[in-house]
Amino acid sequence: MISFVLNGENVETASLPSSRLLDILREEFLLTGAKEGCGEGECGACSVLIDGKLANSCLIAVGSIEGKKVMTIEGFSETERFRVLSDAFAEVGAVQCGFCIPGMVLASESLLSVCAKPTEEEIRIALSGNLCRCTGYELIVKAVQLASERGAGTVWTAGI
């Protein structure tokens, strides 16, 4: 058995350690917020946070995360930080098809959690592993800026 912490709960899986974390999340734990867009770490739609850091769950063998903390969009959406990001994404209209969006939100959180007041360039770099074909990224970048304006010093405090 491989045990890890999933969205704050201790869980175990009997799957092969070489199984992709993405498949375990989607098929075993029925958490389908992480998507498969490419299966090779290029698109970021499968993003999750491992011990708070952004990672592509399609590139992670579940055996490697024994004892670690995995946060998916389902878990993150219960947090106050999510609410700040969600409100900002809604207000500027950053969501279109939505396939990349759970990954975008987690990429935004992974940036803001270490840098509460990023520059536009830092935001663009932080999102650079999350492909989006609908939005041209412009309003997603604006949403992260807006979330930073509202959340820096309260929900995100690093680097200020």
Partner 1 sequence: MRSMSISRPVKRKDFDEKISGRAKFVDDYQSPDYYHACILRSERPHARIVSINIPEIPEDTWVARGRDVPVQNRVLVDIPDQFILNDVEVEYVGEAILIVVAKTKAKARRFMEQISVEYEDLPTCFDVTESDTILHDCRFVKGDPDKVFNEAHEVFEEVLTTGFQEHAYLEPQGIVAEYRDGYMTVCGAMQCPFYIHNAIKHAFGFDDDHVRVIQATVGGGFGGKEDYPSVVGLQAALASYVSGKPVKLVFDRQEDIISTTKRHAARMIYKTALDEEGNILAMDVNVTLDGGAYLGISTTVIERSLVHCLGPYVVDHVRAYGCVKKTNQVVTGAFRGFGDPQTIFAVDTHLAHIARHLGRDHVEYRRSYLAQQGDRTATDGLYRDPVFIREMADKVLEQSDYYAKREAYSKDTGRYRRGIGIGFLGRGCGFAGFAERDFVKGVVRIRKHADDTVEALVSSTDMGQGIHTSFCKVIAETLEIPLSQVSCPRPDTQRVPNSGPTNASRSMQIVGRMLQRAALRLKDEWIPGKEQVIEEHYREERDAVNPWNTKTFNGDGFATYGWSTTVTEVELDTVTSEVRLVNIWGVFDIGRIIDRNLVEGQMHGGLVQGYGYASMEKMEIENGVIMQDRLNNYIIPTAYDIGGIHVDFVDNPYEAGPFGAKGAAELPFCGVASSYVNAVENVTQRVYLSIPLTPEKIFESLQEEV
Partner 2 sequence: MAINNRKPQSLNEALRIRHDCEVIPYMGGTDVMVERDPKASFLFLGDLPELQQLTRDAEGWHLGSGLTFSSLLAEEDCPDLLREAVSRIASPAIRNLGTIGGNICNASPAGDTLPVLLLYDTDLVLKSLKGERRVSLDAFIVSRKHIDLRSDELLVDIIMKPKAYNHFYYEKIGSRRAMSISKIAMAAAAEIQKGTVADFAISFASMYKTPLRFKDLEETVKGKSLDSLEAMKQDVVHAYGERLNPISDLRSTADYRKGVSLKLIGDFIDTILETFGQG
92 binds, among partner 1, partner 2, none (CB under 5 to 8 A by kind): partner 1
70-108 as b/e: b if 16+ CB within 10 A: bbbbbbbbeeebbebbbebbeebebbeeebbbbbbbbbb
Task: Please identify, among the stretches 5-13, 18-26, 88-96, 142-150, the one whose residues bind partner 2 according to the rule CB under 8 A.
Answer: 18-26
10 Å CB burial of residue 126 (0-12, 13-18, 19+) is buried
Examine residue 37 and tell whether it contacts partner 2 (CB under 8 A): no
Examine residue 95 and tell whether it contacts partner 1 (CB under 8 A): yes
Compute the distance between CA of residue 72 and CA of residue 19 in angstroms, rounded to an integer. 17
Examine residue 59 and tell whether it contacts partner 1 (CB under 8 A): no
64 binds, among partner 1, partner 2, none (CB under 5 to 8 A by kind): partner 2
Using CB under 8 A, list all residues that contact partner 1.
Answer: 26-27, 30-40, 42-43, 45, 72-74, 77, 82, 86, 89-102, 105, 123-125, 127-141
